[in-house]
Amino acid sequence: MRNVPDRGQFLFMTTKIVFGDVPRLYQNVRPFLSALCWNDVRNADTCAWLIAGCLESRSCSIPAWVSGRISKAQFAQSREIQGRRFLKNPKVDPFEIYAPLVFQALRHWGEHRLVLALDTSMLFGKFCLIRFAVTFRGRSLPLHQEVIQHESAQVSTRQLLPVLARVKGILDALGIHDVRLLADRGFCDTELMDWLWACGWNYRIRIKSNLILADLAGQRLCKLDDIRLQPRETRCFHNVAITGQAFGPVHVAVARPTDAQEQWQVVSSEPTTLETFAEYGERFQIEEGFLDDKSGLHGLESSKLRDVTSLNRLVMVLALATLFLITKGVQIVAEGRRRMIDPHWQRGLSYLKIGERAMRWALSRGLEVFTHLALPGGPDPDTLGKRKKKCPDPITLLEVGWTLVLRPLS
């Protein structure tokens, strides 16, 4: 994996004094792309302009992204064509652009456990976005993702494995081996669990209620559907096998978090406890990331692009914008300057939003915006303040009035 030097090791591409937020963002972003391998340096320029436009416009519109570009092209249409050519260019590999930069940020992770969330999201009813994201302090950052032409959010393990192999390559290059994967019940597949076991990764995966539990000798114990719990009760089964193929040993926790009849079932590579459900609950951070992309900060759903090649490069641009903003938010908090950006006594904004406000604050004062990329692991030094909610979510209820029942096989 190519190491990307810190921002301070680069010289600006130009010494011209530029005016306007987009040109200044371009000058901030462009040096980070200089160490990457480009078949044509013009692609690096276009990529930097697209990232700058995305950051400034808060939209997913090519015309909006390139409207502030300084170019020899006299007509707006010419600038748009340059942007669309980049997105359609098969020689531009999103992985070769994004992976070195997220690698640069995660070099600061340290010896801490890294929690990955796996999920998919439908785009325009014809495409499926497969994403592996690092959960980070209430939000998630894409580690690797791929758009495929597939009219369902349900994908097979065969479709996941090429994406997962690249994720493992990044983490192995970083020397990060303490990994936990979180996934919803759509990814309950013993082939995937077997692959995770071979990687040495742990997992928490929600499973379907029609699965069968058996002991390691293959003797049927029960069907998950047959387990009836009282509200706020959970049962833990250790060293069992699941499915008709008797895959194991695994550990299973079954819970009923509220007075409603719905029960949750989670399979784990490690012995289950009450904490298992809180650990699985971190998966919802990837949902926040999808919301940021689709209807929040970036507005992906407003894009007019409808081909796999362009969409893969488009989500790469959005991921890079997210990377720059989250790392900026981390920097602001680490330097003790959050209260200059966030009006709350306790942190009331996500790191993404802190980064975005800090970017605009710096631009309004003529300051440099992005100086380095760093994502440190470990606990959040400035946790999100508590907010009043009308209805607590099931994960919150796990911590209140819960009865834990362990059911060993013996």
Beta carbons of 254 and 268 less than 8 angstroms apart: no
Which residue is it, tokens 């690092």? 134
> What's residue 343's pLDDT?
86
- Indicate if the pLDDT at residue 18 is higher than 80: no
Q: How confident is the model at residue 15 (pLDDT cuts 50, 70, 90)?
A: very low
> What's residue 27's pLDDT?
94
Q: Give the separation between CA 366 and CA 28, rounded to whole angstroms.
A: 12
Cα dihedral 139→141→143→149 (10° resolution)? 90
> What's residue 75's pLDDT?
79
The H or E element spanning position 185 is none
Q: Give the separation between CA 345 and CA 397, rounded to whole angstroms.
A: 26
- Indicate if the pLDDT at residue 325 is higher than 80: yes
* Range picked from 103-107, 295-299, 364-368 for highest mean pLDDT: 103-107
Q: Give the separation between CA 45 and CA 43, rounded to whole angstroms.
A: 5
What are the φ and ψ backbone dihedral angles of 306, each rounded to 5 degrees? -140, 40
Q: Give the separation between CA 349 and CA 338, rounded to whole angstroms.
A: 10
Closest CA to 118 of 184, 37, 211, 216: 184
- Indicate if the pLDDT at residue 79 is higher than 90: no
> What's residue 391's pLDDT?
42
Q: Give the separation between CA 66 and CA 52, rounded to whole angstroms.
A: 9
Q: Give the separation between CA 275 and CA 241, rounded to whole angstroms.
A: 21
Please report the DSSP string for 283-304 in residue order. Answer: THHHHHHHHHHHTSSS-GGG--
| Inter-CA distances, 8 with 73, 99, 365, Å | 31, 20, 20
> What's residue 390's pLDDT?
41
Per-residue exposure over 213-250, b if at least 16 CB sit within 10 Å of its own CB, e if not: bbbeeeeeeeebeebebeebbbbbbbebbbbeebbbeb
Return the DSSP state at 345. S
More reliable by pLDDT, 321 or 389:
321
Total residue length of the chain: 410
Tell me the average pLDDT across 278-291: 92
Peptide bond into 31 cis (omega under 30): no
Query: Which amino acid is located at 326 in the chain?
Result: I
Beta carbons of 266 and 206 less than 8 angstroms apart: yes
Ranges assigned E (strand) in 96-183: 114-123, 127-136, 139-149, 179-183
More reliable by pLDDT, 78 or 1:
78
| Inter-CA distances, 227 with 289, 333, 352, 401, Å | 34, 46, 41, 20
> What's residue 274's pLDDT?
87
Question: 24: helix, coil or strand?
Answer: helix
Which of 17-31, 148-162, 313-327 bottoms out in mean pLDDT, i.e. has the lowest? 17-31
Q: What is the pLDDT of residues 96-146, one digit of tens each?
A: 999 999 999 999 999 999 999 999 999 999 999 999 999 999 889 999 999
* Range picked from 37-46, 113-122, 299-308 for highest mean pLDDT: 113-122
Q: What is the pLDDT of residues 234-277, one digit of tens each?
A: 999 999 999 878 899 999 999 998 888 889 999 999 999 989 99
- Indicate if the pLDDT at residue 154 is higher than 90: yes
Instruction: Work out the angle between the directed axes of helices 21-33 and 41-57 (0-180°, nearest 10).
Output: 130
The H or E element spanning position 241 is strand 233-242
| pTM assigned to the model | 0.88
> What's residue 19's pLDDT?
53
Instruction: Count how many Cα atoms sit within 13 Å of the Cα of residue 381 in the half-sphere of its side chain.
Output: 13
Tell me the average pLDDT across 142-166: 95
The mean predicted confidence, pLDDT, of the chain is 87
